[in-house]
A and B are shown apart, each in its own frame.
Chain A
Amino acid sequence: MFTTNHFAELSATISPSVMQAYVILMVLLVAGGTLFDVIHKQSAKYFFRKGKKSEQNAVRNVSGGEKVSLAVKTTVSDVLTSSEFCNPKRRVAHLLGMYGFVIYLIATIVMVFADPASADSPGIWPFLWAVGALMVCVGGYWFWFFIRVDVSSEGQSPFRVIRADLFILSLLASVTFGLIWAFTQSSGGGVWSMIFLGLYLIATTVLFAGVPWSKFSHMFFKPAAAYQKKVAVANGALDNLPRVADRTDPEDRDRHSMELLKDAPLNMGLGIKREQPRHY
């Protein structure tokens, strides 16, 4: 299962060009779905309006070089390490899902396009395909059963499904059925292998075709929003938030209510963050 190019074995039943056309169709569906999302929900309009407002409220100009540095910071911090998550469990689950999906996706494309008719030269890709899918499963099921806010905070059943679950459920179904299909194919194929291949294709189609209704496009929007947030901090607009208080600054110390803090230690500790309130 970890060493065989399953798509190569499948090429005995389905032509490699059909498989490649399917992958291209999925890519087009994602691009089209994201564009539809941008136009229909007017998210781009909102995004640029917010950027303009931030520029209007700016107290200093951000140079081009600084913008590049902010873009690099956004990529390294927000995108590559998901630093926006303050809950470490959510962050780890997200990183597992994100990197797992990326590895799984690249491995799938390589295995389908490189030489799907040849089962002899898969290299490391089948291994990466399976590891990526397993990473998505670990992060995804952990999120689904334990971390999801409906379940962890509101005490809902983990089996309650709403529209916002379309992305995570189709993603989990896709990788899970993919893994089961690969396993049944390695153990001799047969009817079960075809059934799970069918389920794998259905789930994958729903995942990529459901972009306008699911959370899929957050992969593209989130980095842009994180960059915009960083620019708003750099140019002083701060999204209309108050500036960060500096208690070592005498001017800040003399501001309203600060007498209560004058003798308090500079670092007050984690306060609310010390324990997740799970007292319902």
Chain B
Amino acid sequence: MPTFVYMTSCDGCGHCVDICPSDIMHIDPTYRRAYNIEPDMCWECYSCVKACPQNAIDARGYADFAPLGHSVRVRRDEEKGTISWRVKFRNGTEKNFLSPITTKPWGTGYPELKDEPAPSNEMRDSQHLYSEPKYIRMDDGDVHTLESNKLKMKLGVYY
């Protein structure tokens, strides 16, 4: 169920833009309100739903279970760690769900990739990466890492 924004409720704070892992929550160039630019590419992680302080983001149900006329409203309470869903069907049937927010406490969820050894040539040539030659620059030869390219991650990014 991809997300969408009620633009009259959105105040353009940008929390959803900041947090969207798919980079599809953008700011409307005319009205400075958030909107989902590519619902087809939505990962349905609902980070934006949880992050929106105005409750302006909801999910659009798929037609097989929630045809036209439905509504899916979401309310989160970070302090209690709960996220509640209210699904109203076209015929008036209503379902309510309550789920935990499983966001880990800050400082406990880093993958510590910096401690991992640099990838070897064998890994580079592995069939697991057969579809990504462009991004790992296989045609250039050698193994490309941040260090070999003299790059540094920005502050706040943990690998």
With a CB–CB cut-off of 8 A, which chain A residues contact B47?
A: 272
* Among candidates B17, B26, B105, residue contacting A269 with C-beta atoms closer than 8 Å: B105
Q: Are A149 and B100 in contact (CB under 8 A)?
A: no
A residues engaging B (CB < 8 A)? 46, 84-87, 90, 149-150, 152-154, 162-164, 238-245, 247, 252, 255-258, 260-261, 264, 266-279
Question: Which residues of B1-32 have CB atoms within 8 Å of chain A's CB atoms?
Answer: 8, 11-15, 17-19, 26-27, 29-32
Known: A242-B96, A278-B156. A270 touches B79 (CB 8 A): yes
B residues engaging A (CB < 8 A)? 8, 11-15, 17-19, 26-27, 29-32, 47, 50-51, 53-55, 71, 73-75, 77-82, 84-86, 88, 96-103, 105-106, 154, 156-157
A149 to B50, CA, bound (A): 18
With a CB–CB cut-off of 8 A, which chain A residues contact B84?
A: 242-245
Known: A153-B17, A153-B27, A279-B156. A239 touches B55 (CB 8 A): yes
A279 to B154, CA, bound (A): 7
With a CB–CB cut-off of 8 A, which chain A residues contact B80?
A: 245, 247, 266-268
A162 to B26, CA, bound (A): 15
A247 to B103, CA, bound (A): 17
A11 to B77, CA, bound (A): 58
Q: Are A240 and B82 in contact (CB under 8 A)?
A: no
With a CB–CB cut-off of 8 A, which chain A residues contact B156?
A: 275, 278-279
Known: A242-B73, A247-B80, A279-B156. A271 touches B14 (CB 8 A): no
